[in-house]
A and B are shown apart, each in its own frame.
Chain A
Amino acid sequence: MTSRIVFQTEMEKLNEDVSLMARLAAEAIEKAVRCIMKGEPALKLEVERLDKEIYRLEHVIEKRCLDVIALHTPVAGDLRTVSTCLRIITDLNRIGRYADDIVEVYDILVSENGPRRPMNIPHMAGLVVEMVTDATNSFINRDAEAARELFERDDAVDCLYDTNFRAMLTYMFEDPRQITIGTHYILVARYLERIADHACNIGDRVVYMVTGDRLNPQERKKTKTCAQVLGAEGGEGGPRSWDYTTHDLADK
């Protein structure tokens, strides 16, 4: 059974690599958000470095997956694991890119004058970082239940995005000096919303990996209104206290 020892070692390495990549992605988004919210320029370089590392890992992991398929013909649980790894590294790579895109906004925020009105962005950021971390953990722990819970929070993020978007537009109409910053804040919100979607995709994949079931698309239809969703969230901020009401990027 020597080939199976080799196979099992390969599967363990694969698991380690994907777990590492997931943790890096979670770290990248957390640092990116902190960078533009708290104004820590050092974090920008950090995030760029993380993004490069995530990119490199995607290639390494993809090759490892294909090697396992070609050489060891995985079936059943092993096959589902390999296919899940192949899919989520795409999502994780996107998350890394979006983190990088977010920190690019930092320079604009530093150079522009005018009031900063990040609106729901701190709240969204809190949820999104949590979602990415939870998605990551659900993969590492093979926890399908945790994965399923991600969808409700995605609905919350979508609602926050919609609210934010409308509010931003209003401000920009009222005060054209807000347009540059406002547009960039909208972009940041957009990136956060997309990251949340990717976290949900990861959750989807984890459920499949663990149970072999694919989630019914019907289950993803929004059944609650935004007010209900946000009300359930318990008002301001998520469980982690992001102190954004006073932030260091003061109004200039």
Chain B
Amino acid sequence: MKRRTREALFFNLFRVCAAIVVLALVVILGYVLINGIGKWSIDFFTQNPRPNVHGALVEGGILGPIVGTIYLMLLVMIIAIPVGVLGSVFLQEYLGSSRIARIWWMVVNNLAGVPSIVWGLLGVALLVYYLNFGLSLIAAAVTLSLLVLPLIMVATKEAVEAVPSSLREASIALGATKWQTVRHHILPYSASGILTGIILSLSRAGGETAPILLTGVAVNASIPGALGDQFQALPYYIFLMTQTTDRTQAYAMAYGASLALIALIVGLNLVAIVLRNRFREKYRW
């Protein structure tokens, strides 16, 4: 067929695909929004889940789950970000293309594809039982951190690789040490890329159900006061709601909680995007 027709054909095909994706997203989000916004109220956010007359936890609010999820995400941030970013930078800058580094990246890339239930199994076996943390916030946080660590490391690696070697050379030629170069140049210039990786990882961590299921989330936990306590979490709560017999009430709560989870993640993303853009503007080359 004529070139122009072929061109138009493919262009429109891609358009259609993109439209399908956007449409699907809009539909899902719209559905959740419409169904969930109704449940939102002050009470919804300030009360713990309560059983109704039949014993199903469909009354009250989602305070416990929200707090639990927030605590989890904070802990993952504290654990995974430094380890992931600095570990990746160290590998890139100090081990470069050595054999150790190449093997490491091969391992990390594969780890990124490990199913989350397997991470959960690792978590329960290693942290809950072997290291005796028990079913706890800390066990879940560490498990989730391990899950997102490959993502953060790979994102950091690519952001660092994107920094032109001419800038590294310029710094070294001025008599800066490797660490000074990393601190004053590599990290700031790759900050926007690294933040993107962090955003993606935290979003992932916040929504994972299987690992926390095995390592510490509980239906009747209170707000954790210590790292060893059990906790509630939004994804688990949503799951619970689908298993309850009181369908209508439960599903309503589930939509409300889903909306809250999405709002939380979007909020986090927005903060990180703002930060990322700040860095990108500041260090534009």
Let me know if chains A and B touch directly in the complex, using CB atoms closer than 8 Å: no
Interface residues of A (CB under 8 A from B): none
Interface residues of B (CB under 8 A from A): none
